[in-house]
Structure formats: structure tokens, C-alpha cells
Amino acid sequence: MVILAKRIFTGYEWLVDQQILVHQGRIHQIKPVEGELEGSGFICAGFIDLQVYGGCERLFSNHPTVDSIEKTFDEHHKTGTTQFQITLNCSPKETMWKAIDACKSYLSRGGKGLVGLHLEGPFFNPIRKGAHKEEFVQAPSVEFIKEIVDRAGDLPIYMTIAPEMFSEEALDYILKSPIMVSLGHSDASIEQANLALSKGAKRITHLFNAMSQWQSRALGLVGASFSSDAWTSIIVDGLHCDFRSVKLAKELKKHRLFLITDAVTHDISGPYLFDKKDGKFTNESGTLSGSALTMEQAVQNCVNEVGIDVEEAIRMATLYPAQVADLDQDLGTVEEGKRACLLYMSDDLKVQQVWLDGEPLMD
């Protein structure tokens, strides 16, 4: 298969008048064409969303099934997401085990796009629970963490935790486990956060939201992010963060800031009741609950509202999340040998075509 491209943004540089040769789902070769190609727009790597809760009115937290994962891919690939971590709200053990089993089953059937399970909870600080159910918050223990690891097997698990809720033994155990730990839904002091970072935590979840804030005499988890090289996700929808806050965060975090959607879907059929009104999702108490964002919109907002260069905005949705989740050997850039998960975007940053392992997904 050959994909012709007037322009390619590889993740590092622009190439002009090129052809991408795809073989067995991977980029076999990128080479110039003879002469000049007509057209506009450009090719880039597919978006990677490490925090998305569902799609097509099927919230994974209410329905931890293969069908919910399929519906999430069906909705979000249309706006450029080729890979995603399905995300489970803070939930009881039984729901967690169903979620793990659903992910394994989806992958065993050749399900598209899934690169892991993001457990957002249950090891939260209730003070910073956000829209999550307080009755589902649970205390961390070595035994509980071991059970998660054992049940997951080779399924990649990414987990948001409040470090101040852990004993020293439990914190050490989870940080040495295969779980990709991210700090969030936390009221940690900067000292507590820095301790977890010094022990090996490398990530922080949705900057500014559901965490201890940066104050003059108490820097909190926000301050820990700004004063460290921890990878930090951010929701660039103008609701979870003012665009001016995103601009400041980008200036401080530089290439360690990456995009997530935190996207939910309209679903009032289970314990999590998310209803969309006036362009935003809230729960039954009126608390902002996830987003209505797409990765396409997040990139557009970075460029048009925050003033981030196109190249860097694309990296925030491709290369950086690939690095965060240890996927960059196969994904995140347009390079020979990598999977042919690609987007054709218009010059105004609208997704026109999506390829998953070389297979076009849009008419």
C-alpha cells in the first residue's frame, strides 16, 4: 500500500512530496515522489488518548464490557484517536475485575486501538474525589495492589493514585510493580508528592483538576508538577482549565505536558450519571464530570486559543503520550519501522482520514 503526502510532519520535521510505503501494517519506507504533488493538508501520527471513559452513550464505568470499548473506539477514531486507554472511574473491586477481563477479551478478539486500562481510582483522597463516587474510594494495601497486578497479567495498567493515602510499604510496592503510576485526585503536600516522585512515580493526572493547588506557602501537587520533570496530562477544553493557565503550564512544563480528553459520554444507566448540557457534562450534583472534548479539538485549542505551535500541539497528542505509556517504540511518530497509524489533517487541523496499521477507517 502507498500513501501519498504533499506534507508529512514526522514528529520531528516536515517532509514535502513524499510517499509512505506500508507493508504488513508498518511503515516500510518513506521516500520522495518524482515531481510535485497537488493538494493541501498533511500527514501526522495518530492521536493517543490515555484517558477516555466511553463513547456512543456507553460509559465503561457503568458497562465494563467489550461492547463499551468498541463503542469508544468507534466514536473517537473519527476525530483522530488511533490508540487509547479505556478509563474506569473509581469503582468497587468487582467492577475493576470486570473491566480487566473486558480489556483482555477485547484484545484477544483483535479489538482496535486499545493500549491499556486506566484505573482512575480507587486509591483517592476523598477530599479530591471530584465527580467520582466517594463510596467507591478504597484504602490501598499491598494485598489489594498485588491482586490487581495478578489479575491484569500482561494487560498494561495505568493508575491514578493519591500518594498521601498510602503506607510506605504500599507506596513502595506499587511503584516497583508493573503498574504505570500517576498522581492525582490528591490533596498531597508538595513534600508528599515529591516523596512519591523521588521513589519512582513519573506521571501526574489532569493538571489543576482534583488536586492540591499551588499557593504562596503550600505548593501542593500543582507545585510538584511545575518543579519536576514528571509527565503531566492536561484537559484543554477551556472548562477544566482556562486557556491562560494552559499557556503558563506549557511555559513551565515544556515537553513534559501532554494532552488527554478525559472524555465521557451521555449515560445515566448506572452508578455514574453523566448528562450533557450546554456543552459540558455534569453529574447528578452538578459537578463538572469529565469532558466533551476530542483529541482533534484539544489540538485545535492548543494552537488557536493557547498559541502553541502546530508542531508542538501535535507532539502533545502523539509523541509525548506514546513516551508516557512506553509505546514510542511503535507509535507516536511517522518513521520507518513503526506502525502505520496515521492521520491526514487539513491545514485548519480537521481530521480527514485515519489509518490504523495501514487500513483506512473513513470513507
Q: Rounded to an integer, what distance in angstroms lies between the CA atom of residue 223 and that of residue 81?
A: 30
Q: Does 131 count as an annotated binding residue?
A: yes
210 has binding-site annotation: yes
Q: Is 117 a known ligand-binding residue?
A: no
Alpha helices of the chain — where are they, by DSSP H? 66-76, 93-108, 142-152, 168-176, 190-198, 220-226, 243-253, 295-301, 310-317, 319-324
Q: Is 80 annotated as a binding residue?
A: no
Is 153 among the annotated ligand-binding positions?
A: no
3-state SS record for 297-332: HHHHHHHHHHCCCHHHHHHHHCHHHHHHCCCCCCCC
273 is in an annotated binding site: no
CA 141 to the chain's CA centroid = 26
Element (H, E) at 3: strand 2-9
| Spatial distance between the Cα atoms of 139 and 174, rounded to a whole number of angstroms | 13
Answer yes or no: are the C-beta atoms of 207 and 222 closer than 8 Å. Answer: yes
CA 158, CA 7: separation in Å to the nearest integer?
34
Active site residues: 262
Q: 188 among the known binding-site residues? A: no
Q: Is 185 annotated as a binding residue?
A: yes
Q: Is 99 annotated as a binding residue?
A: no
Residue 63 among known ligand-binding residues: no
Say whether 206 counts as a known binding-site residue.
Answer: yes
Parallel/antiparallel/unpaired status of strands 203-204 and 231-234: parallel
- Residue ranges for the known binding site for Zn(2+) are 120, 185, 206
- Residue ranges for the known binding site for substrate are 131, 209-210, 217, 240, 288-290
- Residue ranges for the known binding site are 120, 131, 185, 206, 209-210, 217, 240, 288-290
